[in-house]
Amino acid sequence: MKLFVDSNYLSPYAMSAFVGLREKQIPFEIALVDLDRAQHLAPQYASLSTTLRVPTLSDGAFHLSESSAICEYLEDRFPEKAIYPTDPQRKAKAREVQAWLRSDLMPIRTERSTDFVFLKRSPAPLSAAAQSAAAKLFAAAHALLPEGSDSLFGTWSIADADLALMLNRLVLGGDEVPERLAAYARAQWRHPSVREWVELPRGGIA
């Protein structure tokens, strides 16, 4: 298998697909796509990704983009080591979390880009819109995360990696985050496959 990711390793969606592959213990090769040089728009990449985005997974002659689709494909293709809860309702909730994090909370994603997560840059204070989005995130996370647990569904799932990244946009940006949620985000950041992505070399990025 080959996973196409952004050359700076900043995409949260590339991280999700990378973590899914690592959790499944599937051998794969990383291929870097330079978004700044528009390599994702080149005809060669367009032949692999109909959406012209990263990540894209190549499994032989089959190619698939969009991280949640990739994770669901991996779950169906390699069910031996689950990255989603096995209970159908919990699995559906995990997918709900993933879909929500990818489609909502835009002020947080804009004002706390993954530059602040992975490159340790200092952000400006949150706008009123981002503060409102943060309050919405905290309320949902509190409702989803069982008291005293470091995972959403009793055992680790790919939705934990995605939620922790959204929370860490704020934690690592120096914003005020409820301690229970900050502790959860820190614990998820220590998960081995997540940690591997976090520690990928980005030293040459301006």
Nearest one of 17, 10, 3 to 202, comparing CA atoms: 10
107-129, pLDDT tens digit by residue?
A: 999 999 998 899 888 899 999 99
Contacts of 78 (CB under 8 A, 6+ apart): 24, 26
CATH architecture for the domain at 2-81 = 3-Layer(aba) Sandwich (3.40)
Contacts of 198 (CB under 8 A, 6+ apart): 118, 189
Q: Lowest-pLDDT range, 4-13, 140-149, 153-162, 196-205? A: 196-205
pTM recorded for the entire structure: 0.94
Checking DSSP bridges between strand 2-6 and strand 56-59, what pairing results, if any? antiparallel
- Once rounded to an integer, what is the mean pLDDT over residues 83-93? 97
Max Cα separation, the chain?
50
Q: Say yes or no to pLDDT of 205 above 60.
A: no
Alpha-carbon span 74 to 70, nearest angstrom: 6
Q: Do domains 2-81 and 88-194 have the same CATH topology?
A: no
Does 3.30.360.10 match the CATH number of domain 88-194? no
Query: Where do the domains of the chain lie?
Result: 2-81, 88-194
**Band of pLDDT at residue 165, cut at 50, 70 and 90:** very high
